[in-house]
Amino acid sequence: MRSAVEIADARADKPGHQIYAGRARAIIERASIALRSSTWVPIATGFIEPVLYLLAFGYGMGALIGDISTSAGAVDYTVFIAPGLLATSAMNGAIYDSTWNVFFKLNESKLYQGMLATPLGPLDVALGEIIWALFRGLSYSIAFMLITAPLGLVPSWSALLAIPAAVLIAFGFASFGMAITSYFKTYQQMGLINIVLLPMFLFSGSLYPISVYPDWLEFTIKLLPTWHGIELIRDIWFGVIDFSSFSHLSYFLVMIVLGLFFTTRRLRDLFMR
Amino acid sequence: MNSGVSVENIRRNGALYVAESRIRQMSKWKGIITVVAVGNPLFYLVAIGIGIGILVTENSGTSGTGGVEYIVFIAPALLANTALLGAMDETVFPVMEGFKWRKMFYAINSTPITGPQIALGVFLAALVRVAFSVFVYWILLVAFGVLSLQDSWISVFVAMYGGAAFGALMMGIVAGVKKDDYFLTVLGRLVITPLFLFSGTFFPLTNMPIYLQPIGWISPLWHTTELGRYFGYGQELSGTMLTIHFLFLTAMLIVGIKISNIRFTNRLLK
Amino acid sequence: MSESLISARGLTKKFGDFTAVDGIDFDVAKGESFGLLGPNGAGKSTTMRIIAATSRRTSGTISILGRDPEEHGPQVRAHLGVVPQQDNLDTELTVTENLYIYGRYFGLSKKFVNKKVEELLAFAQLEEKKDVKVEALSGGMKRRLTIARALVSEPDILMLDEPTTGLDPQARHILWDRLFRLKEDGVTLIITTHFMDEAEQLCDRLVVMDKGKIMAEGSPAELIKKYATREVLEVRFGSDRNKEVAPILREMCERIEELPDRILLYVEDGELLLEAIAAKKLHPNTSLVRRSSLEDVFLRLTGRSLIE
C-alpha cells in the first residue's frame, strides 16, 4: 500500500509534474459518482433539442425550401440539416458543460480550489472535466443517430464515423470553453457567451449552405470553428471525404492542443498565484 | 411619533418601490441587456431572414409566406420572441433569486410591503425591460426597411402585451418552484425551445403535421406572432381569430397574476 | 528544538503594490501546534497558501520537509491536509463520497480509502450522516467533515485556516476536542485565527502577525508574561468621565489602555487596584477583573484590537 507521499514522490522527476499528476481519471471518477446521485432529467433532455430543430426545420422549412444542392448532389432539406444539427448539438453540449458547469464550480462551490489543494495539478482537472464532458457528447451523438436513422436521414453505414468526429469537435470547444469561462465573474457576463455563440451557429451553415453569402462574409465564416465542425460532419455524413475534410480535422486537432494549453495556464494562474 | 416612514405610502406605492429597486438592478447591466435585446433577434433576422430567405425565394417565391418577403414574414415573430424572452428573463431570475437564491423577498416582506405588491413590482419592472427591448428592436426593423413606421407601430404594443401575458404566467409558475436543481434546464429545453420552434415563427404553423400544431395553439408566442403579423404588415386574419388571440393572451395574463398573488402570499407567510 | 518541518526566512508576498507578507521568519517543529494570530488582513491566509504550495512567494525562502513548494508543489501537497477558511466541500456528493473522492485525488487505492473513510466518519462523528448530501449538514458538521477530508491522506501537517469562524460556541468546543485528539496523535497543526481563546486553547507556540509582519513569537503563556501583566482590571466610568479619570489611573498601574468605551488597567492584582480606586472615591459604573489574554498582547503590540 503506497502512501500519498510515495505516490507523489514517484512522479517528482517527470516533466510537467507540477501541472499534471497523471490522475485525470480521479476527476472522471468524481463526475461519475456525482452522476449517480444527480437527477437524470437535465441529462436525458439534452438530446431533445437537436431533434426538435430537426422536426421543426425539416417539416416546416422543407416545404418552403425544397431540395438543397450539395457536393453529394441534391438532397432533401431535412437530410441536409441533419448532420449540421448533430455537429451543432455536439458543440453546444461541450460548450454548456465547459462554461456554465465550470462557472459554478469555479465561483460558487469552489470545487477546483479543493482539488488543487491536493497533489493534483491544473491539467488533471482540465483534462478530467473535459473528458467527462465528451462522454456526454458521445451519448448525445449516439442518441441523435438512433433517432435519425429510422427516419431515413442517415445515408450510409459510414456515417457512423460522424459520432467520433462529433466527439472530437466537442473536445475542441470544451478545451477552450473552460479557459474562457475562467475570466467571467457574474452570471450577466456569462450571458455574453450566448450572444457571441449565437451568430457563430446561425451563420455557419447548419441551416443552409454559406454560398448564399457575399464573398467576404463567406471567407470570415470559414475561419470559425463552428463552420469547420459542421462541414466535417457533413462530409462524413454524405461520404464525401477529400482534402478539405482533413483540413477541418486538423483545425480541431490544433484547437484542442491550444485550448488545453490555455486552460491549464488559466487554472494555474487562478489557483497558484 | 413620525419617523418619516409612512406606512400609508408604503401600502399604496409598495409595488412601485419594488419595481424601482428591480430597475436599478437591471440598469447595472444595461449594456449587456441592450446587446442581448438587439443582438439576439438581429442575428436571427439576418441569418435566417436573409440566408434562408434566399432559398425560400428561389424555391417558392412568396407563395408560402402569404405573399410577403420571407424576412417580413419572420420579423413580427422575432419581435414577439424578444418580448417573451425579455419578460421571462426578468421574472424567472428575480423570483428565483428572491425566494431561493438570496431570499430578499423575505426581507422586503418584513416591511409593510405585501406579497402581491412584490409580485406586481417585479412584473412592472419586467414590463419596462420588455418595452425597452421591443421598442429598440422595432426601430431596427423599421430602419432596415423590413416594417413600415406608420403601418406597424401597433405591433409594438401587441408584442408587449404578449410579453406581459407570458411574464405573468412564468412568474406564477416560478413562484411555486422549490427545487431549482434542473428547473431552468428543463424550462429551456422542454418549454422555451419547442415554443420557439413550433409557434409558426419561421414558417406558417399549418406547414406542420397536424399532431404538432397544438404546440402552437397553446403557445403565447404563436398568438402574439399572429397578431403581430396582422398589425405589422396586414396579414389576413379573421375577426374570430383576432378575438381568440387576444382572449388567449388576456386569459394568460389574468391567470398568471392570480397565481402569482396566491403563491407569493402563501410562500412569504411560511 | 527538534528538527523543523517548516522553515521560512524573509518570506515575502506582494500583490502589485500591496505587501501581504513582509519578510517573515518562522520555524515549525514536528508534532507542534503552531498558530498564526492576527486580525483580518494580517497576511495569515497568504502565508498558509504559500506553505500549501498554492501561492508563489515574491522573495525569501521556505522549505517544507526539506522541499521548496515552488519546485515540488505536488510532493509538498502530498504531505499536507488543508482546511480552507471557507468550506469547499463537494456539494453534489454525500458525506462518504466527499471523503472517498478526496482520497482518490491523492492517488490512494480504493481499498485503502474505503477503510480510511470509515475511520474518519467515526472521528468526525458523522456516522449517522454518512449518506447525506453535504448541503444538509450544519455549519459545525461541515467543518468537521472538511477536517476529516483533509486527513484522508494521513498528512504529516494539518493546516487550518480560521477553523471555527462562524460556528456557535457548542460547535466550536466539539471541533476543538477533535483537534486535541489529532495533536495527541502527533499530527503537526498549523492554525490561523483571530480568536485569542482559540489560540490559547490550541497552540503550543504562536506568532502574532499584523500588516504582514511578525510582531512577537512564543507560547501563549510566554507572550502574556512578556507583553502583559498577570491581571487586567476593566473599568467604565461612562464615555464622558473616562478621559477625566484616565490621568489619575495611569499613576496607579503598570500600563493603561484607553479604549473608546472602557479603560484597561494592567496590574499583578486587579482586586487590590480596584480597592485603591474605590479609596480615591472614584466609583466606576462597572468593573471587571480578569486574567490577561492574547487580546491584551495584541493590543500592546499594535495598539489595536484583534476584532475590529
- Which class would CATH give C229-291? alpha beta
Helices (H), B70-219: 70-96, 104-109, 115-143, 149-174, 183-186, 193-197, 213-217
C-alpha cell at A261: 494549453
In tens, the pLDDT along B202-241 reads: 888 888 888 888 989 999 999 999 999 999 888 888 999 9
CB pairs < 8 Å spanning A and B? 101
Question: Between chains, do A117 and C155 touch, taking CB under 8 Å as contact?
Answer: no
C-alpha of C215 from chain center: 15
Residue owning grid cell 460556528: C167
C-alpha cell at A250: 486538423
- The verdict on B186 touching A (C-beta cutoff 8 Å) is yes
Which among A3, A8, A34 is the nearest to C154, CB-wise? A3
- CB-based contacts of C115, cutoff 8 Å, min separation 6: none
Question: Between chains, do A4 and C106 touch, taking CB under 8 Å as contact?
Answer: yes
Q: Could you tell me which chain A residue has the CA closest to the CA of C152?
A: A4
- Identify all chain A residues contacting B36, using CB atoms and an 8 Å cutoff: 191, 194-195
- The verdict on C101 touching A (C-beta cutoff 8 Å) is yes
pLDDT of residue C1: 44
- The verdict on A43 touching B (C-beta cutoff 8 Å) is no
- Identify all chain A residues contacting B208, using CB atoms and an 8 Å cutoff: 56, 59-60
From CA C176, how far away is CA C165, in angstroms rounded?
Answer: 12
C-alpha cell at C150: 483533509
Closest Cα in chain A, distance from residue B121 (Å): 21
Which among B52, B194, B203 is the nearest to A208, CB-wise? B52
Closest Cα in chain A, distance from residue B57 (Å): 8
- Identify all chain C residues contacting A122, using CB atoms and an 8 Å cutoff: none
- The verdict on A151 touching B (C-beta cutoff 8 Å) is no
pLDDT of residue A137: 83
The pLDDT of residue A3 is above 90? no
Note the CATH architecture for domain C4-219. 3-Layer(aba) Sandwich (3.40)
pLDDT category, B256, cuts 50, 70, 90? very high
- The verdict on B60 touching A (C-beta cutoff 8 Å) is yes
Which among A60, A195, A202 is the nearest to B207, CB-wise? A60
From CA A177, how far away is CA A195, in angstroms rounded?
Answer: 14
- CB-based contacts of C148, cutoff 8 Å, min separation 6: C99, C120, C121, C123, C124, C126
CB C196 within 8 A of CB C165: no
C-alpha cell at A183: 475570466
The pLDDT of residue B136 is above 60? yes
pLDDT of residue A37: 73
The domain tally of chain A equals: 1
Question: Between chains, do B32 and A208 touch, taking CB under 8 Å as contact?
Answer: no
In tens, the pLDDT along B48-76 reads: 888 888 888 888 878 778 888 899 999 99
pLDDT category, B127, cuts 50, 70, 90? very high
Among B147, B136, B145, B24, smallest CA distance to B83 is for B136
From CA B172, how far away is CA B92, in angstroms rounded?
Answer: 9
Strand pairing category for C231-236 and C263-267 = antiparallel
> Best mutation site among A118, A120, A272 for testing chain C: the one with the most C CBs within 10 Å?
A118
Among B125, B209, B138, smallest CA distance to B167 is for B125
Q: What is the mean pLDDT of chain A?
A: 85
pLDDT of residue B180: 67
pTM for the model stands at 0.79
- CB-based contacts of B79, cutoff 8 Å, min separation 6: B41, B134, B137, B138, B141, B155, B156, B159, B228, B232
Among C196, C261, C263, smallest CA distance to C233 is for C263
Which among A42, A64, A212 is the nearest to B64, CB-wise? A64
From CA C12, how far away is CA C50, in angstroms rounded?
Answer: 10
Question: Between chains, do A8 and C154 touch, taking CB under 8 Å as contact?
Answer: no
In tens, the pLDDT along B93-108 reads: 888 888 877 778 888 8
Residues of chain B by 3-state class (helix, strand, coil), percent to 5: 80, 0, 20
CB A264 within 8 A of CB A122: yes
From CA B26, how far away is CA B130, in angstroms rounded?
Answer: 12
Strand pairing category for C263-267 and C255-258 = antiparallel
- The verdict on A272 touching C (C-beta cutoff 8 Å) is yes
Coil, strand or helix: which one is C222? helix
> Best mutation site among C58, C67, C92, C190 for testing chain A: the one with the most A CBs within 10 Å?
C92
- CB-based contacts of C256, cutoff 8 Å, min separation 6: C246, C249, C250, C263, C264, C265, C266
Give ranges for CATH 3.40.50.300 in chain C.
4-219
Q: How far is CA C34 from CA C6, C64, C244, C272, in A?
A: 11, 14, 42, 36
B34 versus B245: the higher-pLDDT residue is B245
From CA A232, how far away is CA A229, in angstroms rounded?
Answer: 5
- The verdict on A228 touching C (C-beta cutoff 8 Å) is no
pLDDT of residue B262: 93
Question: Between chains, do B208 and A60 touch, taking CB under 8 Å as contact?
Answer: yes
CB A210 within 8 A of CB A227: yes
Residues of chain C by 3-state class (helix, strand, coil), percent to 5: 40, 30, 35
pLDDT of residue C191: 92
The pLDDT of residue B253 is above 90? yes
Total residue count of chain C as it appears in this document: 308
Give ranges for CATH 3.30.70.980 in chain C.
229-291
- The verdict on A109 touching B (C-beta cutoff 8 Å) is no
Q: What are phi and psi for residue C229, nearest 5 degrees?
A: -95, 180
Q: ∠A17-C87-C37 over CA atoms, to 5°?
A: 90
C-alpha cell at C220: 501563549
From CA C288, how far away is CA C286, in angstroms rounded?
Answer: 7
- The verdict on A152 touching B (C-beta cutoff 8 Å) is no
From CA A206, how far away is CA A28, in angstroms rounded?
Answer: 32
From CA A145, how far away is CA A138, in angstroms rounded?
Answer: 11
The mean pLDDT of A95-112, rounded to a whole number, is 80
Question: Between chains, do A7 and C108 touch, taking CB under 8 Å as contact?
Answer: yes
CB A122 within 8 A of CB A102: no
From CA B27, how far away is CA C76, in angstroms rounded?
Answer: 48
Closest Cα in chain C, distance from residue A5 (Å): 5
Domain that holds residue A185: 4-271
Among C22, C2, C26, C25, smallest CA distance to C13 is for C22
ipTM: 0.83
Closest Cα in chain C, distance from residue A61 (Å): 42
Q: Could you tell me which chain A residue has the CA closest to the CA of B28?
A: A188
Would you list the DSSP string of A21-78? -S-HHHHHHHHHHHHHHS-SHHHHGGGHHHHHHHHIIIIIIHHHH-EEEETTEEEEHH
pLDDT of residue C142: 92
Whether C and B touch (3+ CB pairs < 8 Å), yes or no: no
Could you say which residues of chain C have pLDDT below 70? 1-2, 304-308
In angstroms, how far is the first alpha carbon of chain B from the final one? Answer: 31
pLDDT of residue C301: 85
From CA B16, how far away is CA B4, in angstroms rounded?
Answer: 18
- Identify all chain A residues contacting B190, using CB atoms and an 8 Å cutoff: 45, 48
- The verdict on A104 touching B (C-beta cutoff 8 Å) is no
C-alpha cell at C238: 461612562
Q: What are phi and psi for residue B147, nearest 5 degrees?
A: -115, 160
Strands of the C18-29 sheet, one edge to the other: C18-29, C4-15, C59-64
Which among A4, A26, A30 is the nearest to C78, CB-wise? A4
DSSP annotation of B98: I
Q: What is the mean pLDDT of chain B?
A: 86
Tally of CB atoms within 10 A around B209: 9
The pLDDT of residue A45 is above 80? no
The mean pLDDT of B72-88, rounded to a whole number, is 92
- Identify all chain A residues contacting B48, using CB atoms and an 8 Å cutoff: 202, 207
Which among C78, C88, C133 is the nearest to A5, CB-wise? C78
Instruction: Give the helix/strand (H/E) hosting C21.
Output: strand C18-29
From CA A185, how far away is CA C209, in angstroms rounded?
Answer: 31
Which among A37, A113, A119 is the nearest to C77, CB-wise? A119
The mean pLDDT of A257-267, rounded to a whole number, is 88
Q: Which of A188-192, B15-19, B43-47, C43-47 has the highest mean pLDDT?
A: C43-47
Question: Between chains, do C75 and A30 touch, taking CB under 8 Å as contact?
Answer: no
Which among B55, B197, B203 is the nearest to A63, CB-wise? B203
From CA B105, how far away is CA B171, in angstroms rounded?
Answer: 14
C-alpha of A269 from chain center: 24
- The verdict on B203 touching A (C-beta cutoff 8 Å) is yes
Q: What are phi and psi for residue C19, nearest 5 degrees?
A: -100, 110
Burial of C117 from C-beta contacts in 10 A (0-12 / 13-18 / 19+): buried
Which among A1, A33, A113 is the nearest to C101, CB-wise? A33
pLDDT category, A39, cuts 50, 70, 90? low
Instruction: Give the helix/strand (H/E) hosting C162.
Output: none
In tens, the pLDDT along A148-162 reads: 888 888 888 888 899
Which residue type does B174 have?
Answer: V
pLDDT of residue C306: 58
Closest Cα in chain C, distance from residue A18 (Å): 6
The pLDDT of residue B126 is above 50? yes
